[in-house]
Structure 1
Amino acid sequence: MNKLILNNIVVKNNRVDYYFSLEGQLQKYFRNENHMFIEYNFGVEDVPVSILSIPFVSNVIPLIWITDSVIQLKQLDKTFFECLDDLKAAYQEMFPSVKFNGAILLEEIVPNYYVHEKEAASLFSGGLDALTTFIRIKDKNPLLITEYGWYENEITYSDVWEADKQNAVDFGKRYGLDNILIQSNYGTFLKAEEIDIDFKRKLGDSWWHGLHHGLAIISAAIPMAYLLKVKCLYIASSNSPLYKVTCASDPTVDNKIKFASGKVFHDAYELTRQDKVKVVVDYSLNSNEKLNIRVCFKNEENCCKCEKCLRTILGIIAEGENPLNYGFNIHDNISDHIKTYLYQEVKFFTDTFIKIYWNLIQNRMRENYSKIKNEDLLDWFLDFDFVKERKRALLRYRIRNFMPILKRKLKMKLDKKIVSN
């Protein structure tokens, strides 16, 4: 039987370390240290073990389910324990091709309660989704929760985290809000690549995107929500009903998460990404407040070269605004910059990205035609056929790289033949 045993939780000041052991075939999915940690900017020594267990369980429970394994631990919060069946059912409906089984063995189920003192806390990256949710719940004076989960076994200096943290703290000061800062290795203590080898084809999605990241991010904040007596944790949506996709962060999953006297709400799912651009732009114009949209989460500032940056830039232009006013320091001719990028990169665009992002930007530009300031962009972008241009770009790519592609395919066939023999 495959079993994961949470042997020990060590709490010291503002840090929690989780040490666990494995039986059966589970070890291949974890780094050899068998160690997860979370560090907060608040002390957590007064948080019960049954609450502190939630982040660890949340990070591993999807793996327990898809491998039909057992997780064993001493204590778990009663409210959270009771929501696990609903979470499993939500994942099962999302991924019907994989059986979600497994079991949890507990020595004690602990009821935890508190009287609400804060109405809201919001997971805050400074990106478009997070800013939209902030604007929608601003009157609740939310706590702002910013996380970095990509350390290895210990915390080391990260330029990206320092930039994220500074952005969040400055934003909090601007609006008189408190910041919760969380550092962890929840993104690295499992071997996502190994899980993907065994399950990506069956799931039709990757481990991190399809099963892990939503629970990881939300659960890391739960001890703080307990400590500060928060009624509701808000997580901003990334997708919308326009095009249903599998995703670890989805209202059908997130809204099932409950703990002690708190709950989770997946916010703004009804809005498309272009709708969110409009929310932010309208708020900025109406309040006369400058808002920087932090898109490049793995860079210190927006690179203005990646797909996510460029679709956000164009979304802002489609609302009749200048991207320079929203944290995109692009000083090249925007029309030429976009055209060059699409010529080189459109071959990598998926049907989903074209439909839910780029086509909606084109539609909004048509609706808002008279307000668009970049006339040279309008001359060609509105008529740009993404599907057709993707086919052309793929053809160019295959012609230019015919020999490397042929060699790669021959090598794959040869390797397969050697393995079969």
Structure 2
Amino acid sequence: MNSIILDQVVVNNNRVDYFFSIKGNLQKYFKKENHMFLEYNYNISGIPKSVLSIPFVSNVIPLIWITDSTIQIDQLDKSFHDCLNNIKMAYQDMFSKIEFKGSIVVNKIVTNTFIPEREAASLFSGGLDALTTFIRIKDKNPLLITEYGWHENDIKYSDVWEADKENAVIFGKIYGLENSLIQSNYGTFIIATEINREYSNKLGDSWWHGLHHGLAIISAAIPIAYMLKVKCIYIASSNSPLYKVTCASDPTVDNEIKFASGMIFHDAYELTRQDKVKVVVDYYSGSKESVDIRVCFKNEENCCKCEKCLRTIFGIVAEGENPNDYGFALPNNISEHIKTSLNDEVKFFTDTFIIMYWIRIQHRMKENYNNVMYRDILDWFIDYDFATERKKALLKYRVTNLFPILKRKITNKVNRMFA
């Protein structure tokens, strides 16, 4: 039987390290160190081992389920242990083409409780989703939790993390809120490419997007929420019920997660992305406060060229606002810049993205026609044919990159033959 054994949970002031061993053929999915860590800006030495075990279990349990394996640990919080079957069933409903099996063996299930002293914590990236949730719950004075999970075996300086952290801390000071800052290697200690190679076709999704990231991000926040006696951790939605998609962060999963006396709430799922743009611009255009929406999560600043930046820029324009007022440093020839960028990026757009995001932006721009300040953008974008433009861009890309593409395909075929 394949199994993962959590051998040690080592706590040193503000850091917890997890060391595990593997039986069977699961080692191919993990870096050779078999090590995960979390580092906080709080001393966590007083948190029970049963609570500190939650993040490790959360990160590996989807792999346990899809490989029909076992995870063995010494202690685990009862509330979290009891919610695992509901999470498994939620995943099973989402991914019907693969069977979720596997089991967890715990030496000691511990009942942890607390009387809540804080109503809310909010997972805060500074992005559009997170800002929408903040606006909706700001009267609860939430603890702002910001994470970076892309370190390797230990912490190394990251310009992106420094920028994220600075933005979150400044934001917290503006509103008189406390920041929890978390660093980890939860995004790298598992070899996602190896899991994808075997399971992405069965799942119809990638490991990180479909199964991993929601539990990883939420569970990293649980020890701090327990220590500070937080009643509810809010995670902002990424999707909408208008377009059902598979995703590791979904209300059917997130809302099932429990810990000690705490819970999770998947917020604003009823809103489309364009609805969220309206929430944010309505709030900030009507106040004296300013805000930078952080879209490029792996860049220090918004690039203003990628698909995610572009859809946010166009969304703001559709609401009658200036993207430069929301953290997008665009040149004076904004229409020319974003048209060039859109024509370059459209070849990568999926049908889902076009339906979920871009068509709704066009509809909103038509609906809000008289309030859009950039008339030159209206002239071409309002009737932009995504399907046609995507075909044209793909043809140009393939012609331009014909020889590199052929070389890559031949190389991959040869590598597979001798693997």
Instruction: Please indicate the TM-score interval, normalised by the length of the shorter structure.
Output: over 0.9
Question: Residue deviations 1:250-296, cap 9 Å, x none?
Answer: 00100000010000000000111110000000001222221210111
* Displacement of 1:413: 6.1
Correspondence list, 1:162-311, <5 A: 162-311=162-311
Partner of 2:339: 339
* Displacement of 1:419: 6.2
Partner of 2:309: helix, strand, or coil? helix
Ranges in structure 2 where 5+ consecutive residues have no aligned partner: none
8 Å CA contact retained: 2:307, 2:342: no
Q: Counterparts of 1:169 and 1:407 in 2: how far apart (Å)?
A: 47
* Displacement of 1:242: 1.7
* Displacement of 1:406: 4.8
* Displacement of 1:401: 3.7
Which amino acid counterpart does residue 326 of structure 1 have in structure 2? Y
Q: Counterparts of 1:194 and 1:208 in 2: how far apart (Å)?
A: 12
Which amino acid counterpart does residue 269 of structure 1 have in structure 2? Y
Partner of 1:41: 41
Q: Counterparts of 1:152 and 1:408 in 2: how far apart (Å)?
A: 28
Partner of 2:146: helix, strand, or coil? strand
* RMSD after superposition: 1.5
* Displacement of 1:414: 6.5
Partner of 2:22: 22
Partner of 1:7: 7
8 Å CA contact retained: 2:195, 2:207: yes
* Displacement of 1:236: 0.2
Partner of 1:111: 111
Q: Counterparts of 1:412 and 1:182 in 2: how far apart (Å)?
A: 38
Partner of 2:60: 60
Partner of 1:90: 90
Partner of 2:375: 375
Which amino acid counterpart does residue 75 of structure 2 have in structure 1? Q
Q: Counterparts of 2:26 and 2:408 in 1: how far apart (Å)?
A: 32
Question: Residue deviations 1:133-179, cap 9 Å, x none?
Answer: 00000100000000001101111111111110110000001001000
Q: Counterparts of 1:149 and 1:404 in 2: how far apart (Å)?
A: 33
In structure 2, do the counterparts of structure 1 residues 40 and 403 end up closer, same or farther at CA, with 3 Å as the change threshold? closer
* Displacement of 1:415: 6.5
Which amino acid counterpart does residue 326 of structure 2 have in structure 1? Y
Identity of aligned pairs, percent?
Answer: 71
* Displacement of 1:224: 0.5
Question: Residue deviations 1:65-109, cap 9 Å, x none?
Answer: 111111001100001000000000000111111111011111110
* Displacement of 1:304: 1.0
Which amino acid counterpart does residue 146 of structure 1 have in structure 2? T
* Displacement of 1:301: 1.1
In structure 2, do the counterparts of structure 1 residues 99 and 181 end up closer, same or farther at CA, with 3 Å as the change threshold? same
Question: Residue deviations 1:312-368, cap 9 Å, x none?
Answer: 111111111111111111124111112111222211111011111111111111111
In structure 2, do the counterparts of structure 1 residues 296 and 414 end up closer, same or farther at CA, with 3 Å as the change threshold? closer
What is the TM-score with the length of structure 1 in the denominator? 0.97
Question: Residue deviations 1:174-195, cap 9 Å, x none?
Answer: 0010000001111111111111
Which amino acid counterpart does residue 264 of structure 1 have in structure 2? I
1:354 aligns with 2:354: yes
Partner of 1:172: helix, strand, or coil? helix
* Displacement of 1:403: 4.5
In structure 2, do the counterparts of structure 1 residues 233 and 415 end up closer, same or farther at CA, with 3 Å as the change threshold? closer
Q: Counterparts of 1:71 and 1:402 in 2: how far apart (Å)?
A: 47
In structure 2, do the counterparts of structure 1 residues 300 and 412 end up closer, same or farther at CA, with 3 Å as the change threshold? closer
Partner of 1:122: helix, strand, or coil? strand
Partner of 1:287: helix, strand, or coil? coil
What is the TM-score with the length of structure 2 in the denominator? 0.97
* Displacement of 1:39: 0.6
Q: Counterparts of 2:398 and 2:11 in 1: how far apart (Å)?
A: 55
* Displacement of 1:305: 1.4
Partner of 2:51: 51
Which amino acid counterpart does residue 10 of structure 2 have in structure 1? V
Q: Counterparts of 1:405 and 1:20 in 2: how far apart (Å)?
A: 40
